[in-house]
Amino acid sequence: MWYYEKKLEYPVKVTECNPRLAKFLIEQYGGADGELAAALRYLNQRYSIPDKVIGLLTDIGTEEFAHLEMIATMIYKLTKDATPEQMEEAGLGAHYASHDNALFYHNAAGAPWTATYIQAKGDPIADLYEDIAAEEKARATYQWIINLSDDPDLNDGLKYLREREVVHSLRFREAVEILKEEKDKKVIF
């Protein structure tokens, strides 16, 4: 089971009321390489992967939920007191018409989250390579959002999340090495 802890993994701060940035950030909330997709991808793969890497998938999957809460916090703060006019100016008119200021699992273009974003091939190497690719794609997405944002406090949180993708990617690469089982038998390079 899971326990919720009433704190963020990282102190998220936002300087400006800027719903335009929320429109971009929602990509990491309900998009293909977003945090929801990541959490569900890893936690679902656990059931069919060798025991040696189940702990890693569990722990990274769990951390992704902490990142999802950070993204939600950023979006919440950026849109909390935004008026319908401000939402419309930010390109969130269509979102507002359907959801008011509620968060919803969709991407920056408004397409709802779908299970087709995540794969579970059942082949451990194929699944871990998918996970490495997902981390690199999420890293790139954070880069593009940072490029679009001029809010220094928000960017601070986004740089943290980008760095977490780097560390997760390394751990998944190590998981591949563990499953290859040749780490101590043969020196490569």
Partner 1 sequence: MFTQYKFWEPYASPYDPCPPMTVKSYSTPPQLYINFQPPGLAQFEPRAALYHGTLWKELFSPYPGPNKRGDVDE
Partner 2 sequence: MNKVLPSEYYKLLEEIQAVDFVLVELTLYLDTHPQDYDAIEQFNLFSKQSKELKVKFEKKFGPLMQYGRSYSNYPWDWDNTPWPWQV
Min separation Cβ 59 and partner 2, Å: 5
Among 58, 111, 166, 181, binds partner 1 (CB under 8 A): 166
Distance CA 159, CA 139 (A): 9
Closer Cβ to partner 2, 76 or 110, answer by number:
76
Q: What would you measure as the largest C-alpha separation in the chain, in angstroms?
A: 64
28 binds partner 1 (CB under 8 A): no
Which has the closest alpha carbon to 61: 12, 146, 134? Answer: 134
> Looking at 16, 69, 88, 174, which residue binds partner 1 (CB under 8 A)?
174
23 vs 139, beta carbon nearer partner 1: 139
From the list partner 1, partner 2, none, which binds 41 (C-beta under 5 to 8 Å, kind-based)?
Answer: none
Q: How far is CA 119 from CA 12, 63, 133, 189, in A?
A: 30, 19, 12, 32
Binding site for partner 2 (CB under 8 A): 3-12, 53, 55-56, 59-60, 63, 69, 72-73, 76-77, 167-168, 171, 174-175, 178
Q: What is the DSSP string of 133-157?
A: HHHHHHHHHHHHHHHH---HHHHHH
**Could you tell me which residues are beta bridge partners of residue 112?**
106
State the binding site: 35, 59, 64, 67, 135, 168
User: Which listed option, partner 1, partner 2, none, makes contact with residue 111 (CB within 5 to 8 Å by class)?
Assistant: none
For residues 24 and 20, what is the distance between their CA atoms, to the nearest angstrom? 7
Q: Applying CB under 8 A, does 181 fall inside the site for partner 1?
A: no
Cβ pair 128, 172 in contact under 8 A: yes
Q: Is residue 45 exposed (0-12), middle (13-18) or buried (19+ Cβ within 10 Å)?
A: buried
Shortest distance in whole angstroms from residue 6 CB to partner 2: 5
Q: Does 20 bind partner 1 (CB under 8 A)?
A: no
Contact residues: partner 1, CB under 8 A = 10, 139-140, 142-143, 146-147, 156, 159-164, 166-167, 169-170, 173-174, 177, 183, 188
